[in-house]
Structure 1
Amino acid sequence: MNAPPADPVMPVAVVMEWRDDHGNRWLERRWSCVGVACGAAHAAPPAAAPEPAVIHRDAHGEQWLWRGLAVRLYRDELESYYQNLMGAAPGVFVVTRPDARGDPYPWLVTLCYDQAGNCMEVDETVHKVAMPAELYRWLEAYVLAGYAPEPRHKRQRS
């Protein structure tokens, strides 16, 4: 089996949305991640921090596009990528942190179940969104180039 390419990177953009939450007296807004777009068009200039741009606004909320993020693949996470692809709903995991105003900003985008789980264990906010077809094909090619699942063995009765 050939080794997959060393640590490939795919530029991505994240769409975050807030909506008025009139039913909650403690929260004015409810934030969610509504999607991820991928490809070179979403790359940031070198050394630039991801920046949001409002892409939709209505009376009940806004959608912000965060460009300049990237998904990086690592060989030691191949099994986790495989599990993501084989799951019922392959996903992209977007990890957010609150900014100075308390609004979330995406700081990590991953396709690795294990990395997303590790972030949740330390109380990071992790959003799962559907994996775009282009990202799925890219990840699938990477996994096929470097991973073979362990064959299942039936246990011998004694």
Structure 2
Amino acid sequence: MERPSVQVAVVLEREARPNAWEDWRFRIVEVVEQQEAFGTEPRLLFDDDKCSRWMFPAHTVELFRDEGEGYYLNLTSGQPVWFVMWRVDEADPSRAAVEAITLSYNEAGRWLDAQERVDNVPLQPHLVAWLEAYTAQHYKPEPKRRQRPASFLSPDERGRR
């Protein structure tokens, strides 16, 4: 069975010598839907020796049923976003590349726990609606259960909490 997906391209900006402590600073500028003209290989969009922008096209973002909670958390955060994981090239620290993209808050959290670099940029409104429809169909939050106050538990039960 095919999963819902969207093809996207990521624009990454590199700034040279942003301060006395950094040689390079990178940031994700935007995530846009893939267009045929973008091709499939990373390419330089702009470079003025101080700042450059690179496009990393042809990334597929798939939706998975078991990530429903992560999509729900993203949607209810106030501003749904793309989470973009990127890495600096170890052989050439003046270069970086986009590695993965997700819409799941939980998956982005796992990447951060693994010490990866993750930036986020706003999700376009029509894709928010797409993600909301998928999440509504495939994710039902667990009902909250009331916990008994510790004062109503025996001393043995309090120690097991």
TM-score interval for Structure 1 and Structure 2 normalised by the shorter chain: 0.7 to 0.9
CA contact (8 A) 1:16 1:34 kept: yes
CA contact (8 A) 2:81 2:122 kept: yes
Paired residue secondary structure (2:19): coil
Deviation of 1:149 after TM superposition, in Å, equals: 2.4
2:114 aligns with one of 118, 122, 128:
122
Specify every segment of 5 or more residues in structure 2 that has no aligned partner in the other structure, as ranges: 153-161
Deviation of 1:57 after TM superposition, in Å, equals: 2.9
Q: Counterpart of 1:12?
A: 8
Closer/same/farther in 2, CA of residues 44 and 72 from structure 1, 3 Å limit: farther
1:42-84 CA-partner distances (Å, limit 9, x unpaired): 6988xxxx52222233352011111011111100010110110
Q: What amino acid sits opposite 2:119 in the alignment?
A: H
Paired residue secondary structure (1:51): coil
CA contact (8 A) 1:43 1:68 kept: no
Q: What amino acid sits opposite 1:101 in the alignment?
A: D
Which of 5-14 and 106-115 deviates more? 5-14
Return the TM-score normalized by structure 2.
0.79
Correspondences of 1:47-86 after superposition (within 5 Å): 51-86=41-76
1:139 aligns with 2:131: yes
Query: RMSD over aligned Cα, in angstroms?
Result: 2.4
Q: Which runs of 4+ in 1 moved over 6 A?
A: none
Task: State percent identity of aligned pairs.
Answer: 32
Deviation of 1:135 after TM superposition, in Å, equals: 2.2
CA contact (8 A) 1:19 1:60 kept: yes
- Structure 2 distance, partners of 1:65, 1:43, is 12
Closer/same/farther in 2, CA of residues 60 and 150 from structure 1, 3 Å limit: same
Q: What amino acid sits opposite 1:132 in the alignment?
A: Q
Q: How many residue pairs are counted as aligned between the two chains?
A: 148
Return the TM-score normalized by structure 1.
0.80
